[in-house]
Structure 1
Amino acid sequence: MNELRTKVLPTKRKHIAVYSADAQSRRDLAAKLDSLAIYDVQAADLDAFLRTPAADAWPSVVILDVGEGDFLNDSKIVEARVAWGAVPLIALSDELNPNQIRNMVRLNVANWLRKPLDGKELCDAVTSFDSGMRTTKSRITTFVSASGGAGATTLALSAAGYLADRSAEHAAGTCLLDLDFQNANCGAYLNLFNEFDMDGIVGHPDRLDAELMDVIKLTRKPGFAVYSFERPGLPFEPKGADFVFKLLDLAAFRFDDVIIDLSNMETPWQNAVLSTSDQIFLVFELNIVSLRKARRLYTRARESRGNAVNITLVANKRRRKLFGSHFSRGELEKFFKLPHISVLGLDTPLLTEALNRALLPSEVYARARFNKDLKLLFRERWDREDR
């Protein structure tokens, strides 16, 4: 269970056809798609689009770069589009005049992108239509502690386990991404250690592709993937941020659910992760220092995304006392000016047992109050979403 997976399962490569009159554009498009390592890209000039491909060369998606639009005036283009049948067509173009736009509409394009082209926009468009089927967007959920030891790593691990327990398909579509390179606690808590030499990849992030992602991942029952590397100097390395952003992009491309354990240390990627997450779980302890840091993090996340992100405040490690707690739920809601703050009780025996046995808390004793409260929290945040 703890061994590094060194055997890469074969991936069915999908055929993408690229047509453009500009040789440089063909090379650039092919390079962007080749970097994902799951596409075979065949590039040709625009005249090749007018000819029906051989039966064994039928692509999953056609990318048609019409440039300034002169190609749209060719009388054969509509007939050629009919010959391509139901193959999704993604069109690229510069600014077009009204007549060219009408001709573009007649091609029944699946997506129309304007140039200059953003690489991520292109990849998103292709993956939405490969195999002739539209795919769902991956869901990014980030756990971050307001202060060290608040418990975000434990919650992130439990979240990955909760999603993976639904079915084998959900397990294969779930990954846990540990962005705390100082400690790599996600791997350590599960007794998983990545022995892959990351020097050549961190220094050259362009080498990281979908196939290499399969090599460097760790797997853990019930089947979710774990990416956890102990590399304390990564935030200060020249290509460190580029590596992290490439890792994030590929994880979002390959998995339906990406769970991120984000360090509370300010890094070049912290704001980017917070601003692109669909859900944020901000975990804090019931003491003044942790509360103040939690409010700062909450304010920063809201400033970057407004109301476009769901932020769940989790007061963790609440101790049950004979004469009450230091902070009531009402006082917490007043402090953050928010209703419905989640509270989790401290269960030291359960968490210690889980840590010592490299198990998820739910695997130690599923009926523990901590696990029941956590399961209810995840169900409320996820199960009602329309994926």
Structure 2
Amino acid sequence: MKLRRRMMMTAAAALLIAIGALLPITHKNSGTAWSSGTSERAAGAARPHTEEPAARASASALASGKAEAAQPVVYLTFDDGPSKWTPQVLDILAKERVKATFFVLGQEAERREQTVKRIVREGHALGNHTYNHRYDALYRDFEGFWRQARQTDAILERIAGKPVSLLRAPGGTYGNFDAHYFELLEQAGYRIADWNVDSGDSKRRNVPASEIVKTVKAGKLSREVTVLLHDGTGHGESVKALPAIIAYYKAKGYRFAVLDGEAKLVTFRIGPDKWQRTWTEAALARAEQLVGQRSGAWRPLRDWLRDKGTVAWDALRKEAVVRVGGETLRLVPGEDKHVRVYGALHTGGGSLAFRLVGERIFVAAA
């Protein structure tokens, strides 16, 4: 059965998992590169994946024309809003000339549409944080998560006037997402973002601002830092802590940015499943059907090749070999998380786009 085959992955498929999540390219000629989308994951690890810490940018580097390239970057992210505190957060960000990313709840966005519009108008990024943040509804089965994500999609697109692909799982992905959650959501085009510095502002009620600042300062100074903060109900202390947090990263030589398409997203490694879901073949087929409604033309490579040709993994060369008629296409993943395409397929004058989602290659014909 398809599910059984998928769960009993070969060594070659396991290699593809380690490559990364979402690597989009458009193929027209040989030598086209796939650019990396999200960070790699390995099942069973008990900590988030972050990059190795880089040396702090020197004063001379910051003063040179290469300052932005040399400068480390911090992404301030706010979950669970908008609330009555969000306008105060926006006021501080405007005063400090700092941009941030807001992962909003659908039900709160409906209540505070003008605040969501202000977030977008002032140049901040908007992300989907599901509709109501209720763990049981989100993680007992994939369809529950999917319904809330899609409901929030519609709300945010109506308010912001454009689709939102950035998504953060309530509570983070560790222990909540299994491999199928990652694969299905990435297949649908979502960009999943966790964090590598937790401010600790939600570990209990009314965490004082001084403790929040101290916790942030104790976080690792990586080359790219994604800070978890909250602007939802009950987080007035987070607002009080924000100016000191901004001052801290400015003093360390960081620039501030939003989690846009250029940002390298942090995702946690897959951990033990808190929810003990059972994926039957029927449940997986249903989930893939739902995802297909959003992902459009993207199809698993093997499905696309059915009645057209074949694909095989060459373990010696570490490449996927696609054969259609007398034509051959080689998909070569590199250690730098890029994949190059060699050869060509006749597509009637159109082009092919490829991407990796979890352990599988997807293709879209244009």
TM-score of the superposition, structure 2-length normalised? 0.30
TM-score of the superposition, structure 1-length normalised? 0.29
Greater share of helix = 1
